[in-house]
Amino acid sequence: MRDVAILGVGMNKKWGELWDMSLRDVFVEAALNAVDDAGVDHLDSMYVGCMTSGLFVGQEHVGCLMADYLSTTPIPATRVESACASGGAAFRQGFIEVASGISDYVLVGGVEKMTDVSGDEATSALSAAADMEYEAYHGITFPGLYALMARVHMERYGTTSQQLAHVAVKNHKHGAMNPEAQYPFEVTVEDVLGSVMVADPLHILDCSPITDGAAAVVLCPLDTARKISKKPVVQVLASAQASGTIALHSRKDMAWIKSTNQAASKAYKMAGKGPQDIQVAEVHDCFTIAEIMVLEALALVERGKGGQAAESGMTALGGKIPVNTSGGLKAKGHPVGATGVAQVIEIIRQLRGEAGPRQVKGARIGLTQNMGGTGGSSVVHIFGAV
C-alpha cells in the first residue's frame, strides 16, 4: 500500500438554498475548485458521495452524470452511498484506490440537492437512512430517533437541554467565521431553548438544516504530493469504517455510538496515534446530541461528559480540543452526501494553516468522523501535516 495525500480541496462559494443551480451544477462548481486548488491537469478516477438523489431530484447514475459534466470522461466514476456517511465512505474508496496503486489522481466529491422538494418530502427522503420497514414505516423521523437517544443520555448522565444548546451556540459561533456556511450567524442558549420544539428535547436550533451543496478533494500518492504540491502537504494517516445495527431499537445501548467507537479504535491504531494526539476534529453534529455522543465514542471526551465538554468551552476554538471549527453540520449546513467530504476539507485547511479567523494554531493532526443514520455506518479518518 502506498501512502496517500490530499492535493486539493474545493467547495461551493456558499452552501444553502441554491435554487438557481441543478444537482450537476452544484457538484461541478465544487469539483472545479478542488481541481484548481490541486493544480492538476488530469484525473484517473472519481467517486461521488450522494445519499438519495433519486428521492430528491429523480436522478441516479450520478457518477456518470458528474464525469460527463465535469468533462472527465472516460475515467471511472462511481457513486458511493452510506446515507449521511456517503461522503466519508466515498473518501475512503478514493483513499483505497490511490493506496492500491491502481490510480494516481482521484477526485472524491460529495453532493446533495435537498431544497427542490417540500420539507415533508425531505423528511421522508431522509428517513430512507433508517430502517424503512421497522422504523420509518411506523412514522418515526430522524429528529424523533435522535430525541430518543438524547433522552437516554440525559437520564443516564444528567445531560441537560442547556448543554445541548451549548453545542449549537459553539458551532454557530464557529460558523459565523465561515463565509461558505449556510447559517453564518451566532445564536445564544436562550435562542436555542426558545426555538420551536421539533422532537422533545430537540428544538429546531438543535437540528442541522436542509442544504444544497457539494464538496470535493483530489487525492494522490504522498510521494507525488511532496514533488508537485505548492501547498503544505497533508497525509491521510488512517481510514477506518464500521457498521452497526441500522435500527435504533436493536441496540443494547441507545446512548452509545458503537460503530464510531469501533471505527475510531481502528483509525487510531492505523495512524499510530491516540485521542490525545488529535488537535482539531470535524464530527457529525446532525443534531446537538449527536456531537455529544460522537465525541464520547471517539474518546475525545470522557464517556457521559459530552454535554459538559460543550458547556465548559473545551470543544470550542481556544479550548483543549476544538470541534467543528467549520460550523459543523449545524451552521455550515448538511447536504448529506457532501458532508463527509466537507469535513475533510476543513481539516485540510486547518492543517495547511489556511483556516483564517477560525485557525487552530499549530494544528498538525486532525480527525474527521462522518456517520449514517443513527450510527449504522461510521467513517473515521485521521490526517497529519507532513
Q: Would you name the residues annotated as active-site residues?
A: 84, 334
Closer by beta carbon to a copy of itself, 78 or else 195: 78
- For 239, other C-beta atoms within 10 Å of its C-beta total 23
> CA–CA distance from 198 to each of 62, 141, 204 (Å)?
32, 10, 6
Binding site for a copy of itself (CB under 8 A): 1, 22, 24, 51-52, 54-55, 57-65, 67-68, 72-83, 89, 92-93, 96-97, 99-102, 125, 127-133, 136, 240-247, 250, 258-259, 262-263, 372-373, 376-377
Nearer residue to a copy of itself within complex by CB, 263 or 289: 263
Q: Cβ of residue 54: shortest distance to a copy of itself, in angstroms?
A: 4
Looking at the Cβ atoms of 116 and 186, the one nearer to a copy of itself is: 116
Asked if 203 contacts 193 with a C-beta cutoff of 8 angstroms, the reply is yes
Nearer to a copy of itself, 87 or 322 (CB): 87
Angle at 113 between CA 108 and CA 116, to 5 degrees: 170
Distance CA 324, CA 58 (A): 32
End-to-end CA distance of the chain: 18
For a copy of itself, which is the closer residue by CB, 210 or 360?
Answer: 210
Closest CA to 182 of 335, 356, 322, 316: 335
CB of 15 to a copy of itself, least distance (A): 21
Alpha-carbon gap, residue 49 to 214, rounded angstroms: 9
Residues 176 and 166: beta-carbon distance below 8 Å = no
Q: Which of 245, 243, 244, 224 is nearest to 235 (CA)?
A: 224
The CA-atom distances, in angstroms, between 236 and each of 5, 98, 378 are: 6, 11, 17
